[in-house]
Amino acid sequence: MDLNKIAVVDYHDYISGDPKKRENFIKDFGDSFANMGFAIVRNHGVTPELRNKLFEVSKAFFNLPEEIKRKYENMALHGQRGYISKNRETAKGKSVADLKEFYHVGQTVTDGDPIKAEYPDNIWPAEVKEFEEVCQKVYRTFEQTGRNLLKSTALYLHLPEDYFESKVHNGNSILRLLHYYPVADKSQIPAGAVRAAAHGDINLITLLMGGSAEGLQAQSLDGQWINVSPKEDEIVVNIGDMLARLTNDKLRSTQHQVITPNEESWLTPRYSTPFFMHPRSDMDLTCLESCISAEHPKSYADMTAGEFLTERLEELGLKKK
């Protein structure tokens, strides 16, 4: 087995009704998470039409004048909803902000669940027609796809297939419309700044709609930086720190980064859309007993998902301690 290989799997194999295809999907998907922390998934649920529409509304928003975009930035929300302006987010352990801007869409609770009180309302830009409609549709599609992929992950971990279901129902998931803006004058770039410095994600799993340009890399177990280049009809799925904690690192939260592969890349904007699948704030992230052994002793203190999220938002500079 090539431990540096990122598996490409077809979600239709998991739901095909063919026991062998389903078994192979669970193993290939899970092994790729254990070795690289990443997998690439075909037939993920977002149609080409919806994908194109999403990038249209994303580009339309980021092309707005700065003063218009900033109308939709609420600093009191710590980056959880609406616009987050250029160079506000800094990767954990880094001192230089990433060269990006983004927009966050969060959970909309419609079933009377009391957890609604924990979530701020979404913010919708009036200047971009269909922004709300398209983002809500993508959010719901990725949320369902993420739930299905977590079922496969649960089976790989020898847990009940629905182990994560109650934990992610009305979870604190975030859809991020991301813009790595072009830089014409490189002398204006702060020393050490990149589009996205090496980091791990906070959440359970991330579903990433392929970027509009090359640049995403994941770090292998032996320290190599591996290019992650999904096709247009594929998504990248990676493990976040919450799931790594839960599994005592049986599933890896891999460091990844977005670079500019060549000098010309600085002149080209890059758009991508990650969906950060979070659980409810009260999910217990205590390491699973089945993932603890003499060879792999417990690595993490007990903590809820909400406590961990607060800790990381402070580390990222989006929330004051």
pLDDT digits (tens, 9 = 90+) for 224-283: 898 888 888 899 999 999 999 999 999 999 988 876 655 566 667 888 899 999 999 999
CA 179 to chain CA centroid, Å, is: 15
Confidence at residue 196, expressed as pLDDT on a 0 to 100 scale: 63
User: Does the pLDDT of residue 81 top 70, yes or no?
Assistant: yes
pLDDT at 98: 72
Q: What are phi and psi of 191, to 5 degrees?
A: -55, 130
Mean pLDDT estimate for the chain = 89
% residues pLDDT > 70 (the chain)? 87
- Mean pLDDT for 71-97 is 82
Confidence category of residue 68, pLDDT binned at 50, 70, 90: very high
The pLDDT tens digits for 139-151 are 999 999 999 999 9
Each residue's pLDDT tens digit, 181-220: 877 666 666 655 556 667 789 999 999 986 645 678 889 8
Residue pair 50/58 in contact by the 8 Å Cβ criterion: no
Here the tokens at position 185 are 């004058």
CA-to-CA distance for 197 and 93, rounded, in angstroms? Answer: 10
Pairing of strands 205-209, 174-180: unpaired
pLDDT band at 83 (very low <50, low <70, confident <90, very high): very high
Portion of the chain with pLDDT greater than 90, in percent: 66
Start-to-end Cα distance in the chain: 44
Which structural domains are found in the chain, ordered by start?
Answer: 8-315 (2.60.120.330)
Q: Dihedral of CA 16/18/24/27: which sign?
A: positive
pTM: 0.89
pLDDT tens-place string over residues 46-60: 888 999 999 999 999
